[in-house]
Amino acid sequence: MADTLPLAEAKSLVARARAGDFAALERLYRTYERPVYTLARRLTKSAEDAEDVLQETFLEVCRSLRQWRGEGSLWGWIRTIAASKALMRYRREKLREWEPLEDDVLAARAGVDVPLRMDLEAALERLPERSRAVVWLHDVEGYTHEEIAELMGMTTSFSKSQLARAHDRLRRWLDAGVGA
Amino acid sequence: MSEMRHGTSEELLALRDGEGSAWIREHVAQCAACVAELERLEQVRSQLRALPSFAPPRDRWPVVRQAARLERRRRQASWWAGTLAAAAMVVLSLLVLRHRSPAPQDASLRQAMAESAAMEQVFRSLAPDDRAMTGRTAGVVADLEDRLAQVDAALNDPSAQRADPGRVAELWRQRAGLLSALVDVHETRATYAGL
C-alpha cells in the first residue's frame, strides 16, 4: 500500500500527536488501522492475534512518535512496527512451523479435507505461517530478502528458499489438475 | 542427448525480481516452459496484491486512546518527579554553600530558581494538555519540551554540578526561559482560539 497521507500532513499530525493532541492521534489511527490489520492478518494465525497486533502496534506508535523524523514514509515506519509485532509472536509462542509440514498433516490439523482446487485466498491461508509471512512481505509489501531476514532473524538465502517453496505449494494447490 | 534443465522456482523468482543469474536469463530466452512459469509467478504476485484488505472486527481505538492517555500521564508524573528532584538537589547545594563563604553566584542562582518556579506556575495554570493545536504549534511545543527535558536531566546530574557549580544557575535560567517560551506559545494559541 502506498502511503495515503501526504508527507506534510503526516508531519503535522505526528507533531500534534506528540504534543498530546488526541484528535491528531485518532486521525493517524483511522488512517492506518485497516492496512495494519490487513498486514497483521496475513502474518498471524488468527483474527484475534491480528487484533492484538493492531493494538500493540499503535501503542508502540504512540510511545515512539518522536523517533519518526519525517524523513521517510510514515506508513513504511508504522508497517515495520506492525510486522515486528506480528513476527515477535512466533518467537513468543515458539511455533514449530518452520519446516513445512506435509499437506495432509496440515489438512488434518485444520480438520478439513484437502480440496482439489483452491482459490488464492484459501491457498495463502493454508501456507505455514512463516512461509506466508515471507510471501506477503516480499511479494505484496515489497520487502527485500535482506529486510525479511533481519525482521525474522534468519538468513537471506533461507528467505529466498522459503519464498520458492511457498510458491511451489501455491502452484500445486491452485492448479486445475485433479490431485493437485 | 541429455535433457535440458529448467529453471528452479528460486531462479525464476530471482529473475522476476530483477536479480536473475546470467544462466537463467539465457535459458529463459530459449525455453517456452520457463517463460510460461515466469509469467505465472508474475500473475500470482499481481493477484496477491489485488486481494482485498481486512477491516478490524472491533474498534480498538478506545483501548489505544485510554492506554496512550495513561502512558502520557505517567510520563508527566515522572517529569514532575524529575523537576522536584532537581529542585531538591539545588536546595541541598544552597544549604551547603550557605555554610561556606557567601558567593555572588548564590543570589543569581536563587533568582534563576525563583523565575523558573514562577514560570512553571503560570505554565501549569494554562492547563496545556488535551487541547487541539496546529501542527506548526505542536512542533514548536514538542521542541521546547524536548529541550526542557534535557535541562532537567542536566539539573539531575549531581556529578556535573559538582564539576561546574556555576553552570547550575545558568541551567535554571535556561529552564525559566524555556517555560516562558512555552507560556507564550500557549497564550498565543489561547488568544487565537478565543479560549
ipTM of the complex: 0.82
Q: Measured between alpha carbons, how far is A16 from B92 in angstroms, rounded to an integer?
A: 38
The total number of structural domains in chain A stands at 2
What's the grid cell of residue B187? 497564550
Q: Measured between alpha carbons, how far is A74 from A6 in angstroms, rounded to an integer?
A: 9
Residues A72 and A126 in one domain: no
Which residue is listed with cell 496475513?
Answer: A42
Q: Measured between alpha carbons, how far is B90 from B86 in angstroms, rounded to an integer?
A: 6
Q: Is B36 exposed, middle or buried (0-12, 13-18, 19+ CB in 10 A)?
A: exposed
What's the grid cell of residue A30? 483511522
pLDDT of res. B32:
94
| DSSP structural state of residue A139 | I
What's the grid cell of residue B109? 542562582
pLDDT of res. B105:
64
Q: Measured between alpha carbons, how far is A50 from B11 in angstroms, rounded to an integer?
A: 33
Provide mean pLDDT across the span B155-181: 80
pLDDT of A100-153, one tens digit each? 545 544 544 444 444 545 689 999 999 998 899 999 999 999 999 999 999 998
Question: Would you say how long chain A is, in residues?
Answer: 180
Q: B179 CA to chain A: closest CA distance, Å? A: 15
Residues A63 and A19 in one domain: yes
pLDDT of res. B156:
77
| DSSP structural state of residue A65 | G
Residue A90 or A171, more confident: A171
By C-alpha distance, the chain B residue nearest A10 is: B135
Residues A118 and A81 in one domain: no
Q: Measured between alpha carbons, how far is B27 from B21 in angstroms, rounded to an integer?
A: 10
Residues A121 and A85 in one domain: no
Residue B155 or B190, more confident: B155
pLDDT of res. B189:
63
Question: Would you say how long chain B is, in residues?
Answer: 195
pLDDT of res. B108:
79
Domain boundary (A68, A93, A118) is at A93
Domain boundary (A54, A69, A93) is at A93
Do the Cβ atoms of B133 and A16 come within 8 Å?
yes
Query: Would A180 be classed as within a structural domain?
Result: no
Q: Which of A63, A58, A62 is nearest to A79 (CA)?
A: A58
pLDDT at A171 over 70: yes
Q: Which residues constitute the domain of residue A15? A: 7-93
Q: Which of A56, A4, A52 is nearest to A28 (CA)?
A: A4
Residues A109 and A88 in one domain: no
Query: Would A64 be classed as within a structural domain?
Result: yes
Q: A51 CA to chain B: closest CA distance, Å? A: 7
Check if B195 contacts A (Cβ < 8 Å).
no
Phi, psi of A152 (to 5 degrees): -100, 0
Q: Measured between alpha carbons, how far is A78 from A80 in angstroms, rounded to an integer?
A: 5
% of chain B residues with pLDDT over 90: 30
Cβ atoms of A168 and B9 within 8 Å: the answer is: yes
pLDDT of res. A108:
44
Check if A55 contacts B (Cβ < 8 Å).
yes
Q: Spell out the alpha helix ranges (H) of chain B.
A: 9-16, 22-30, 32-49, 61-98, 104-125, 135-155, 158-163, 166-193
Query: Would A38 be classed as within a structural domain?
Result: yes
Provide mean pLDDT across the span B50-63: 93
pLDDT band at A91 (very low <50, low <70, confident <90, very high): low
pLDDT of A31-86, one tens digit each? 999 999 999 999 998 899 999 999 999 999 999 998 898 888 999 999 999 999 99
pLDDT of B109-130, one tens digit each? 888 888 888 888 777 777 665 5
Distance spanning both ends of chain B, measured CA to CA: 90
pLDDT of res. A179:
43
Q: Domain holding A157: CATH number?
A: 1.10.10.10
Check if B51 contacts A (Cβ < 8 Å).
yes
pLDDT of res. B195:
40
Query: Given B55, B69, B139, which is nearest A15 (Cβ)?
Result: B139
Query: Would A1 be classed as within a structural domain?
Result: no
Cβ atoms of A94 and A123 within 8 Å: the answer is: no
Residues A75 and A43 in one domain: yes
Cβ atoms of A85 and A50 within 8 Å: the answer is: no
